Copies of this chain bind each other. A is one copy, B any other.
Amino acid sequence: MGGMDAHEHLKQAAMAARHASHELARSSRATRDAALRAMADALRAGMHDILAANARDVAAFRGSNAFLDRLTLTEARVEAMAVGLEDVAALPDPLDRVLAEWTRPNGLRFQRIATPIGVIGMIYESRPNVGADAAGLCLKSGNAVILRGGSDSVHSAAAINAALQRGLTVAGLPTGCVQVAPNADRAYVAAVLAGAGLLDLIIPRGGKSLVERVQQEARVPVLAHAEGLNHSFVHAAADPAMARKIVANAKMRRTGICGATETLLIDRPIATALLPVLIEDLRTLGCDFRADAAARAIVPALKPATEADFDTEWLDAILSVAVVDGVQGALDHIARHGSEHTDAIITQDEAAARAFLRGVDSAVALWNASTQFCDGGEFGFGAEIGIATGRIHARGPVGLEQLTTYRTLIFGSGQVRP
């Protein structure tokens, strides 16, 4: 970018994005879907360049093997990105849905319709595919996007972006629809966060420190994922076989995802009979435990939990365990320690389930199902750009619908206001 500083570059990118967003807002579904398919084709056609650019990033990388794996692209991974774009093209159009419609006594007819948000800034870390996935969801929902990937993947991101822009051009849409930060300049993140008036929304996707920085510094609305401190509560009237199946899945299917259960709450009347079995199931799967005194009285081998353990999102094969008294005891524990993300009750007692679902204030509350269902794909969204833990605009999985906003059309016949 020569001598252009990050803020100036962002400003120019944002102006191009704003122009593109107006064009997108007026575009037809057919045009947007054609662009998505052309972007997929261009990724395949650009395979060689993308892998070569990625090889440069990989050669320069000095981090852990786990991160290296996330950074590394293969033909199969690029193909998966292309298929992802085609899948998004096939999803229903999230725009122009009539969300509400009503008529007033003066004859004015109101229509609330779904419309794009505008210009979205996306800040993410190492995985290069996140950029292509986000670009697809933003384009489908009529939003222009400016992508700022991790500094480790800057060459990969540029090569992917070049391919995506070739696809846009084939479909007759401006390249301003999808843009990428020009280099690894860290000042670009600061410029995005300061982008009031330039960007309409920032979506960070990455570790806790990235998300916290964005939430602390952003001068633009943020849709972010903070913490998933999720509970599975096994109620006294639970079916024991179902409880065993759900708890094992909720904790151990994948321990590192945000929908994983971090704390097992067990109702006192069944704790003596059921807790040892649940613990044994989980131990067999490789789980370790931090348990309160009542749980340790039943299974003495469990490690003791500190109060802080119940505030810890393990994202690992560790489970906090507490014995509670009924639905109210579970709700009290969750209100004190939870993060309003995803919480489940397992019970055959409908009244208990209703009381739990009503009393818990989580973005997602489940009855007799695994907390790991907190996922856009499992919701039927087709694809998701992340999970939102804030309380306004969107809660839980963020799919195409959540990337839209609304406006109101009013149809009159000469009405004036008295």
Contact = CB atoms under 8 A, between A and B. Distances in A.
A410 B104 contact: no
A251 to B, nearest CB: 11
Contact of A408 (B115, B361, B364): B364
B373 A108 contact: yes
Contacts of A115: 361
Interface residues of A, number: 65
Contacts of A416: 245-246, 248-250, 253, 369-370, 372
Nearest to A19: B335
B368 A413 contact: yes
Contact of A390 (B221, B365, B391, B411): B221
A329 interface: no
Contact residues of A: prevailing secondary structure = mixed
A219 interface: yes
Most buried by B among A201, A373, A410: A410
A223 B104 CA distance: 26
Contact of A410 (B223, B246, B358, B367): B367
Contact of A368 (B215, B359, B373, B414): B414
A396 interface: yes
Contacts of A221: 221, 390-392
Contacts of A378: 104, 108, 417
A67 interface: no
Contact of A417 (B200, B364, B372): B372
A216 interface: yes
A245 B417 CA distance: 10
B408 A379 contact: yes
A188 to B, nearest CB: 21
Interface in A232-282: 239, 242, 245-246, 248-250, 253
Given A108-B369, A391-B405, A392-B392, A364 B410 contact: yes
